[in-house]
Amino acid sequence: MLYSSTHTATVGVKGLVLILLSNSYYESFVRPWIALLTVTVVPFTIILLCNVFIIRALFAFRRLRSEQAIVSPSDKVGTSLIHIRRRHTLLFLAKFNFY
């Protein structure tokens, strides 16, 4: 049920909120949107952004590793296969921590 602007002026903002909350309007139109945003859209967005940052970090790490291999192949500090696997494992575990 929609109210006219004169009714809104006499009731006030707090009164209008109470009227909307007590009506079925809230249950039919407002609450589903709040539930959709808090339960679905916000977590999906957070997980999507975290995955994007993880993928960017993996590509940056791969690029750094290939640059180090080209510049100085004898310098093995931090680029051994064990260190690379540990870093990838940690990144993937961080990704699956959000699921």
Q: What is the pTM of this model?
A: 0.47
Alpha-carbon distances, residue 37 vs 13, 24, 30, 31, 40 (angstroms): 24, 20, 11, 10, 6
Radius of gyration of the chain (CA): 27
Question: What backbone torsions phi and psi does residue 10 show, to the nearest 5 degrees?
Answer: -80, -35
Residue in the block written with tokens 């994007």: 52
Question: What backbone torsions phi and psi does residue 12 show, to the nearest 5 degrees?
Answer: 90, 170
pLDDT in tens for each of the 99 residues of the chain?
455 544 445 667 777 777 666 677 778 888 899 999 999 999 999 999 999 999 999 898 888 888 776 655 555 555 577 777 777 787 777 777 665
